[in-house]
Amino acid sequence: MSGCERLQRAIEECQRRVPAGPGREAACKHLSRGLAQCLVSEACPDELEAVQALCASGGTALKRAQCQQAQLSLSLCLSSLQQQP
């Protein structure tokens, strides 16, 4: 079982155990974020790595521009996957 599958099952279990409402959202939030991160890392690993490396801190104007470009590349990667049947 992959890491993403384990997170998916953990979210399902969390949602099953915690009643619907704000409490469920708070209790399961970290799992949802982890699953999103996992899925993005599987779908667009190079683009995600670039964003993590270039957007970790403010830095210079050049680094901010590189961060924005990396974010755009990640967005384009994810968008291209959404358009596939």
pLDDT tens-digit profile of 67-84? 999 999 999 999 999 876
pLDDT tens-digit profile of 20-32? 888 888 999 999 9
**Residue spans per domain, the chain:** 1-43, 45-84
Give CA separation, 69 vs 1, 14, 66, in Å: 34, 36, 5
**C-alpha to C-alpha distance for 54 and 61, rounded to whole angstroms:** 12
Which pLDDT value is given to residue 52? 94
Q: What is the pTM of this model?
A: 0.78
If you average pLDDT over every residue of the chain, what do you get? 91
Checking if the pLDDT of 85 tops 70, the result is no
